[in-house]
Amino acid sequence: MHAALTLTQFILREEALHPQATGEFSSIMLQIALAGKCIARDLSRSGLLDLIGSTGARNVQGEEVQKLDERANQTFIAAFDSSNVVRTLISEEMEKPLTITTAKQPGKYALFFDPLDGSSNIDVNAPLGSIFSIHRLASSGEPVNESDLLKTGAEQVAAGYLLYGPSVSLVYSCGSGVHQFILDPGIGEFLLAAQHVRVPARGSLYSVNEGNYHKWPSGTRRYLDFLKEPDAASGRPYSSRYSGCLVADVHRILLKGGIFLYPAETKKPEGKLRLMYEAAPLSFLLEQAGGRGSTGREPILRIQPKALHQRVPLIIGSREDVRQAEEFIQTA
């Protein structure tokens, strides 16, 4: 059992390595951790409180908003309200960015987040997550217009996720490797579990909703058929793991290797997942861990966004597995 290093101690130690650091990034990470603890508490009691089920409203994506989706969104907002480091919040649950106007001076950062990923798992006690992405704003003070927010994934200052499973994990990177923390609910602290996490160059797991097989272009179908052909020399057939929660499925791939796909469909070439607060932060993490995040045709981190809630196909995981998937997809 290694000495317990709290998230706070770890972040302050990392901050000390950067003399020019002002502590603003550290405070953002600690507020995200606070939001994660509050959401974990709500999820652990959701069946007992009137938090199960939908609000009856639909979000910007046209998806039914679960009560816990909205509560998680409000939890993130409350964690940053009157913040003088984050100026703008962009959420899957809000059509427009929310500018923090209660701070003494405007913050320098924008926080993109999916407050509760995998909502369909709420009612069946299966894993859920929160995903976040932090960008530095070009200018402070002026009202932030949308074009200031449309930055590539490569420009992220930091990214990460919270995974609400049998334990609560916080995984993040600020460009110097990927670090994992686990919440000790007895003391309410995230403790360091692993630093500089590396994803295996190739795995033996694949994660995809096979119910969509008939919707995929031929190259994607041929890739999935290839993964299922027996061939001991290449570790095939791969094993299938799919939870319906992007964070849970990508976390497994980060630790064990393999590939997650939510690919382009013939009638939906843009796929389902969102670029700014799902594909880009997760691709930032996987690339930091030696893996790769792609649409199947180009690196996620190089995409120049055109809209805040833009969707992209996502093929992410072990570098060799993603490259092989790209070869099949591009020779369709």
Interface residues with ligand P6P (CB under 6 A) are 117-118, 120, 209, 244-246, 262, 272
User: Smallest distance, Å, CB 130 to ligand P6P?
Assistant: 11
- Residue 326 has a CB neighbour count (10 Å cut-off) of 20
- The backbone region for 165, taken as left when phi is positive above 0, alpha when psi lies in -120 to 50, beta otherwise, is beta
**Kindly report the CA angle at 66 between 61 and 69, in degrees rounded to 5?**
80
Placement of tokens 């609560």 in the chain: 168
In angstroms, how far apart are the furthest CA atoms of the chain?
63
User: Smallest distance, Å, CB 120 to ligand P6P?
Assistant: 6
- Quick one: 14 or 117, whose CB is closer to ligand P6P? 117
b/e for 144-177, b at 16 or more Cβ within 10 A?
Answer: beeebbbbbbeebbbbbbbbbbeebbbbbbbeee
Secondary structure letter of residue 101 according to DSSP: -
Q: How far apart are CA 131 and CA 278, in angstroms?
A: 6
- Residue 260 has a CB neighbour count (10 Å cut-off) of 27
Q: Are 252 and 263 in contact (CB under 8 A)?
A: no
User: Smallest distance, Å, CB 262 to ligand P6P?
Assistant: 6
- Quick one: 26 or 295, whose CB is closer to ligand P6P? 295
Q: How far apart are CA 61 and CA 25, in angstroms?
A: 30
- Residue 241 has a CB neighbour count (10 Å cut-off) of 16
Q: Are 137 and 146 in contact (CB under 8 A)?
A: no
- Quick one: 137 or 300, whose CB is closer to ligand P6P? 300
Tell me the β-bridge partners of 231. 236
User: Smallest distance, Å, CB 98 to ligand P6P?
Assistant: 21
- Quick one: 86 or 208, whose CB is closer to ligand P6P? 208
User: Smallest distance, Å, CB 211 to ligand P6P?
Assistant: 7
User: Smallest distance, Å, CB 131 to ligand P6P?
Assistant: 9
User: Smallest distance, Å, CB 1 to ligand P6P?
Assistant: 33
- Quick one: 271 or 305, whose CB is closer to ligand P6P? 271
Q: Are strands 259-262 and 314-317 parallel, antiparallel or unpaired?
A: antiparallel
User: Smallest distance, Å, CB 242 to ligand P6P?
Assistant: 7
Q: Are strands 259-262 and 205-207 parallel, antiparallel or unpaired?
A: parallel
- Quick one: 26 or 133, whose CB is closer to ligand P6P? 133
- Quick one: 170 or 314, whose CB is closer to ligand P6P? 314
- Quick one: 28 or 163, whose CB is closer to ligand P6P? 163
User: Smallest distance, Å, CB 146 to ligand P6P?
Assistant: 23
Closest CA to 308 of 161, 120, 121, 88: 88
- Quick one: 112 or 262, whose CB is closer to ligand P6P? 262
